[in-house]
A and B are shown apart, each in its own frame.
Chain A
């Protein structure tokens, strides 16, 4: 459907927010037969969805402090293994006790896990060292739990793909400017199309506010108040996987106590700082955050001290004050679903927030249930059993292909797209050519992403394919990919600006850790793109940040 038709239509439901929760809600609504429009002000998964550990909690982390969240986690954990196989790596996790920690806590922890239904096996420290050689060898206790790693970008895209397969429409780079209300009922949204600066309107019978931390602003536009408490967390990405299992500290949750193997890298995090809501768009990592993460990370896996850090990033958790306590002292980490008709007397407006990236499906289910109740839809929720696109079947064919027949790029693509990798063109040598050599991204995969996965710029492309996510952070591949994108979109000038914006986005993450090999890398990139190519003369970066 062309965009202008979307503006004319009236939908059953409009979902605001292209993170995992919004995507999951849109999918659920679409699967229950509703007509759905999802709007996102930037790219999909640019908020907290794409700015966390990529950890698929077993729930063990919350077992002691928040049994309800823990139960939700383990149940969603098991569901995601089935429905999102291609986004999940079943690594398992360790909760380790270090000499400075209280070993007594371990027993409390195991009992809490058992209460929440989480398998938690105490293992010998020697066994822990054997199954995860990267672990701090000084550990005095270890518990094995079914943690896993999950790729939030892929997860979100798979949900969007399925939503679209079932009739949903999606608009990215459309920012909400206002909520249209008529006689106490929300009727639609005023949007800014950021591609062309046009102001447009979209109509729907119910609006679901799934905008994460930005949901407070959306609610404000609808004239209702929600108290959000932005909790900022910074993380560091290391150049390769030092660990193959998730490693947590077995103690009360604190700074930098989880190390997660994600695809080709590993991630330590997070810090946790309450920040003013006005600053939630500034995600630059500070020197202090880097220092804390390094200092604590080394305690989990000593080899992190001598592993290259390729970048730093930060995200904001959308924590919500419990409704009966507007002061914010009692903050829930659980899922919060507000029907503003009941709460504020505003019909057709639902807010779904709180929760975690990995409980996105449950959040979608809860929100969709609320929508359905309003619209009189009685279709059951099937998202817990129906696999996402890419995760159909048992994956045996892909595994076979992965180990035998295919090239590096093709194998890497199967790892990223699961069964959907079959749609990537690979019939000629040019489609098989590698654009990103670090991550094995081929021309064919880029074409597929541009045509099927809503890619407008290089940063979008990176989130869909891992282009430029390797150790060099886009040395040669960003130029290759920019050219290709310019060709596919027939916009050369745009491609050049996009290239500069992409390099800037990469630098944003590299700069806080710019020493050692990462600084060398940066200097080489500067000498290629500025010195050799003169990119700085060809484009200006001013005012380009919004499109990320």
Chain B
């Protein structure tokens, strides 16, 4: 099967790259082995949140100071602002409504009430532009009875620490109570499936309206809007006070929705999305990849001019660590990782862990290497890249979006 570009990996970076190429008229196939880590996303994109434990205020400035092996440095710090704008409009085109800008981080509120630097946040999620000027003084935190993936008390405590006056209120509706009959399945995503009809939303709104009291803002967990934001907007319209959502523990509704929106947009642009299939091997002839075989298409390999590795880190199986080594399992391209297992990790769960920085080795155009030689038509994007620790730096989604766009440009031969 012949394509212009084959992308291995259907998460944030793969879809972004696929959309950018499909928009430019390419025939693109994305091989997606299951759902992606977007489902753990709390509704924000981060360009760069922290350097050495210090919160970053102006990401573009901080990016200019990053070491050479950071993916941003490879793209070129001077291009980041432009690519960031492009990413923001691509997300908007896919129907993902986010606010923020790359010149100055704002703060997102985590499920535990911590303020973390962010670049873009869904416009229905709570965010703070300036910690000294909170968007509201008195806040009603609405907790859903029997829902445990929102640590409400921690969240309230965190919000109070930021200077909000917080009143915690617990509520339920018939729909929610019915769902709690399942011992295991009362999750954010299950609630989102049940809180869709106008009557179900009205019942939630009635509760929020009667409990909210005299507050400036009502917060509730992000358990609405599995396919699009209609349910959220409908509820916002029914609630008398400004209503904003707070991220929950995963699987996250907002992440699930973003994944679906991007996939839908990619399909609309004529892209081929092979859901639940995975790239298992490829053939390399000299300096070029000539085909990719997948688990399901078996003896009908995918052929293209360009290939993009967007398979993610260990958690997504884009990298594999066995007892003795770290490797890239599809094409066996070079990785940057310590040879000695003892150095992959260290005791102390909150310490920086070396394995988080591991990934494939690339040249400065993000092309993969095999035994030190550049593979001309194979680029790597997103979490499979080495040179940054998304957990500690808060740059995972930014790297995914921006490397995807940078590679899409270079595939199209843009300058």
Contact = CB atoms under 8 A, between A and B. Distances in A.
A498 B4 CA distance: 52
Contacts of B270: none
A493 B157 contact: yes
A435 interface: yes
A442 interface: yes
A500 interface: yes
A523 B249 contact: no
A504 B350 contact: yes
Contacts of A486: 151, 153-154
Contacts of A520: 314-315, 317
A279 B356 CA distance: 31
A495 interface: yes
Given A495-B153, A531-B394, A537-B114, A515 B322 contact: yes
B392 A511 contact: no
Given A504-B350, A532-B110, A526 B249 contact: no
B349 A506 contact: yes
A195 to B, nearest CB: 21
Interface in A26-49: none
A433 B146 contact: yes
Given A524-B40, A534-B112, A534-B114, A511 B180 contact: no
Interface size class of chain B, counting residues whose CB lies under 8 Å from the partner chain: 35 or more
B345 A516 contact: no
Binding site secondary structure of chain A? helix
Interface in B272-331: 313-315, 317, 320-323
Contacts of A538: 112-114, 154, 158
A307 interface: no
Nearest to B390: A531
B181 A429 contact: yes
Interface residues of A, number: 55
Given A519-B314, A532-B42, A504 B349 contact: yes
Given A511-B345, A511-B346, A538-B112, A433 B391 contact: no
Contacts of A533: 110-112, 114, 249
A507 B112 contact: no
B396 interface: yes
B79 interface: no
Interface in A420-469: 429-430, 432-435, 437, 442-443
B210 interface: no
Interface string A504-548: 101110010011100110111011101111111110010000000
A527 B249 contact: no
A402 interface: no
B71 interface: no
A383 interface: no
B341 A480 contact: no
A250 B294 CA distance: 48
Interface string A60-93: 0000000000000000000000000000000000
A523 B355 contact: yes
A492 B157 contact: yes
A486 to B, nearest CB: 6
A487 interface: yes
Contact of A433 (B111, B112, B148, B342): B148
B344 interface: yes
A267 interface: no
Most chain A CB atoms below 10 A, which of B114, B146, B183, B390: B183
Given A511-B345, A515-B323, A530 B183 contact: no
A334 to B, nearest CB: 36
Question: Looking at B37, B154, B157, B323, which has the most chain A CB atoms within 10 Å of its CB?
Answer: B154
Contacts of A531: 40, 390-391, 394, 396
Interface string A5-31: 000000000000000000000000000
B350 A430 contact: no
B391 A437 contact: no
Contacts of A541: 348-350
Given A483-B153, A520-B314, A496 B112 contact: yes
A164 B329 CA distance: 57
Contact of B37 (A443, A522, A527): A527
B186 A433 contact: yes
A482 B148 CA distance: 10
A526 B149 contact: no
B40 A433 contact: no
Interface string B135-170: 000000000011011011110111000000000000
B116 A527 contact: no
Contacts of A407: 183
A267 to B, nearest CB: 19
Contacts of B28: none
Contacts of A442: 183
Nearest to B393: A531
A284 B347 CA distance: 9
B353 interface: yes
Contacts of A430: 145-146, 180
A287 B148 CA distance: 37
A537 B116 contact: yes
Contacts of A526: 349, 353, 356, 391
B184 interface: yes
Nearest to A508: B347
A161 interface: no
Contacts of A189: none
Contacts of B153: 483, 486-487, 492, 495
A341 B400 CA distance: 72
Given A534-B110, A534-B112, A476 B315 contact: no
B221 interface: no
Contacts of B314: 519-520, 523
B122 interface: no
Contact of B355 (A500, A519, A536): A519
A433 B348 contact: no
Interface centre among B42, B112, B321, B346 (most CB of A within 10 A): B112
A504 B348 contact: yes
A148 interface: no
Contacts of B112: 496, 533-535, 538
Contacts of B80: none
B380 interface: no
Contacts of B154: 482-483, 486, 492, 495-496, 538
Contacts of B146: 429-430, 433
Contacts of A534: 110, 112, 114-116
B247 interface: yes
B112 to A, nearest CB: 5
Given A515-B341, A532-B110, A527 B391 contact: yes
Contacts of B113: 538
A506 B349 CA distance: 9
A487 B42 CA distance: 24
Contacts of B181: 429
Contacts of A387: none
B9 interface: no
Given A430-B145, A533-B114, 11 more contacts: A487-B153, A495-B153, A516-B322, A526-B353, A527-B37, A527-B391, A531-B396, A532-B249, A533-B249, A534-B116, A537-B116
Interface of A: 284, 287, 294, 407-409, 429-430, 432-435, 437, 442-443, 476, 479-480, 482-484, 486-487, 492-493, 495-496, 500, 503-504, 506-508, 511, 514-516, 519-520, 522-524, 526-528, 530-538, 541
7 contacts: A432-B183, A433-B184, A492-B154, A495-B154, A500-B350, A519-B345, A532-B42
Interface of B: 37, 40-42, 110-116, 145-146, 148-149, 151-154, 156-158, 177, 180-181, 183-184, 186, 247, 249-250, 313-315, 317, 320-323, 341-342, 344-350, 353, 355-356, 390-392, 394, 396
Closest 7 interchain pairs by CB?
A: A534-B114, A507-B349, A483-B151, A504-B349, A480-B148, A492-B153, A515-B321
